[in-house]
Amino acid sequence: MSSSQQFRPIVWTIAGSDSGGGAGIQADLLTMHDLGVHGCSAITANTAQNTLGVPAINPVADAALQSQLEALFADLKPAAIKIGLLVNAAQVRLVADFLRAMKARGEAIPVVYDPVAVASIGTPLTEDSTGEAVLNDLLPLCDLLTPNSVELEWLAGMPVDSAEKMLTATRRVRGEHACALLVTGGHLEIEPGVTADLLSRGAGESLSEDWLIGKKIETLNNHGTGCTFSSAIAALLAQGYPLTDACVVANAYVRRGLRLGGSGAIGAGAGPVGHCGWPTELRDYPEVLVAGSERAQRFAKYSEPAALKWAAEFAQPDSNRLGLYPVVDSVDWIEKLAKEGVRTLQLRIKQPGSDLRAQIAQAVSIGRHYNLRLFINDYWDIAIECGAYGVHLGQEDLQTADLNAIQRAGLKLGISTHGFFELLYAYQYRPSYLAIGAIYATNTKDMSSQLQGPDKLARMAALLPDYPLVAIGGITLDRAQEVAASGVGSIAVVSAITGAPNYREAVAQLRAVLEQ
């Protein structure tokens, strides 16, 4: 099948046409095509625009909007919906009624709403009655809002001119509406030379607030960034990306478009942001701010206890390619596999007995004898006491472990990640390696909500071509070739070795694939 014939999930954009081709429906469809979905449109207004301004709005009649939605629903059911410009209260209610009816039929379709120009910067695009209808009718049906800081001021009814106020305003909006918020920071320079988006999601115990930080890109060609961003998120959600991953990849897509997009040749004013394909370079991806880092002080994310445990730039292993990496639960296995010539190993004890410390100490001593790269899972404090080669930590462990102590003791550090967001977050620590999982379904551990697949693995690996990367999760001999082709230098396995009928043969075969 050629790439143009491949299955593409459907995404709707309900938004205005920009005759200048820079924003609105035109930007949305370009974005959706670039990111691998089929875009459908329901046009709310035929705006007359060019790069210099908006001479006319021209809303479509309600019946025209309704008929577009009905035609789409009859044949082209969406996997996600992006909503942009709604010109008046009647349009807001019409769209809200349509979404409500879809939800009543049991269609769980993520809705991303970019409250474009409800609060005006530049030319007002909406009629006065629109705001109230948005708050009362539309927001309860949305999963994610993507306001800029000016639109956030309107939503929260307070000024937003600092990191603290952005957080307060976001909490206020989220206190009244269930949807997540991604506030784009392009209008507010919290730190000079930097743009910072704020992603707030979850609630109660699982509330998360994350800053996504990038170098400010100076360009005149930035028209349509908000539309592009929200439709990119919708396109990624439609393909099953979790919200966090969709937000960081969409952020990178826009930043790539700003960086590469404009030769300045389109129009005399603000030209369109570029649509330059999948973001393949790390430099376009945001930094996910880590509490405890120095920068966190400027973004109200700093805490003294977190700062005391914070560390980055861990000792690097002797090679970026750690090769076959069995993860085992006993000292016995460490010794057996070391004798087979395996050099990278992990001791992962999930049911510790009273001899835990003794087991770790023995494993460390075997590791020294065979010159292993031996990582101890979870028990970083015992690993330090025993002088282990390294420790392996999960994302949750990063909130509690004393990374500073691990670094001071000279231990290497491996970190688990599951998707783009966690990869970018863990990268802030510059660990000795980054593990990416779970690549396939596995019976060893319930990873069903965090499966990456080989294509995503390859995209993540491409961001860090010179970094020690490890793939894990459901990797068998049959799949090892495909995993190795992603560019990772190491494959971690549990059952492919410990559950193999002949572990020696399994080791030899897996190593052969990696060495090819």
Ligand X SMILES: Cc1ncc(COP(=O)(O)OP(=O)(O)O)c(N)n1
Binding site for ligand 3NM (CB under 6 A): 416, 418, 437-438, 442, 444-445, 447, 472-475, 493-496
- The 8-class DSSP code of residue 33 comes to H
Please, what is the minimum distance in Å from the beta carbon of residue 492 to ligand X?
A: 4
Q: Which does 447 bind (CB under 5 to 8 A by kind): ligand X, ligand 3NM, Mg ion, none?
A: ligand 3NM
SS3 state at 191:
coil
Residue nearer to ligand 3NM on the CB measure, 343 or 445: 445
Q: Flag whether 170 is marked binding.
A: no
Q: Flag whether 215 is marked binding.
A: no
Burial class (CB in 10 A: 0-12, 13-18, 19+), 81: buried
Q: Flag whether 216 is marked binding.
A: no
Please, what is the minimum distance in Å from the beta carbon of residue 435 to ligand X?
A: 3
Q: Which does 239 bind (CB under 5 to 8 A by kind): ligand X, ligand 3NM, Mg ion, none?
A: none
Nearest to 44 by CA among 130, 128, 104: 130
Tell which one of 131, 387, 394, 487 touches Mg ion (CB under 5 A): 394
Rounded-to-5 percentages of helix, strand, coil across the chain: 40, 20, 40
Please, what is the minimum distance in Å from the beta carbon of residue 422 to ligand 3NM?
A: 10
444 binds Mg ion (CB under 5 A): no
Please, what is the minimum distance in Å from the beta carbon of residue 433 to ligand X?
A: 8
Q: Which does 509 bind (CB under 5 to 8 A by kind): Mg ion, ligand X, ligand 3NM, none?
A: none
How many beta carbons lie within 10 A of that of residue 509, not counting itself? 15
Answer for the pair 194, 217: CB distance below 8 angstroms, yes or no: no
Residue nearer to ligand 3NM on the CB measure, 364 or 494: 494
Applying CB under 6 A, the residues found at the interface with ligand X are 325, 327, 346, 348, 377-378, 392-394, 414, 416, 435, 437, 445, 470, 472, 492
Please, what is the minimum distance in Å from the beta carbon of residue 446 to ligand X?
A: 10
Residue nearer to Mg ion on the CB measure, 131 or 394: 394
Nearest to 13 by CA among 83, 68, 61: 83
Q: DSSP assignment of 140-176, as one string?
A: GG-SEE--BHHHHHHHHTS---SHHHHHHHHHHHHHH
- The 8-class DSSP code of residue 282 comes to G
How many beta carbons lie within 10 A of that of residue 394, not counting itself? 16
Answer for the pair 173, 142: CB distance below 8 angstroms, yes or no: no
Helices (H) and strands (E) in the chain, counts: 18, 17
Q: Flag whether 495 is marked binding.
A: yes
| Binding segment toward Mg ion, per CB under 5 A, in 63-71, 177-185, 210-218, 373-381 | 373-381
Residue nearer to ligand X on the CB measure, 359 or 377: 377
How many beta carbons lie within 10 A of that of residue 175, not counting itself? 9
CA distances from 251 to 61, 134, 185, 220, 418 (A): 34, 25, 11, 18, 18
Tell which one of 378, 421, 468, 472 touches Mg ion (CB under 5 A): 378
| Contacts with 469 (C-beta within 8 Å, 6 or more apart), sequence order | 433, 434, 435, 436, 461, 487, 488, 489, 490
Please, what is the minimum distance in Å from the beta carbon of residue 310 to ligand X?
A: 19
Q: Which does 444 bind (CB under 5 to 8 A by kind): ligand X, ligand 3NM, Mg ion, none?
A: ligand 3NM
209 binds Mg ion (CB under 5 A): no
SS3 state at 490:
strand
Q: Flag whether 384 is marked binding.
A: no
Helices (H), 206-283: 225-238, 243-260
Q: Which does 346 bind (CB under 5 to 8 A by kind): ligand 3NM, Mg ion, ligand X, none?
A: ligand X
Q: Flag whether 349 is marked binding.
A: yes
Q: Which does 181 bind (CB under 5 to 8 A by kind): Mg ion, ligand 3NM, ligand X, none?
A: none
Q: Which residues are annotated as a binding site for Mg(2+)?
A: 378, 397
Q: Please enumerate, by residue number, every residue annotated as part of a binding site.
A: 346-350, 377-378, 397, 416, 442-445, 474, 494-495
- Residues at the interface with Mg ion (CB under 5 A): 377-378, 394
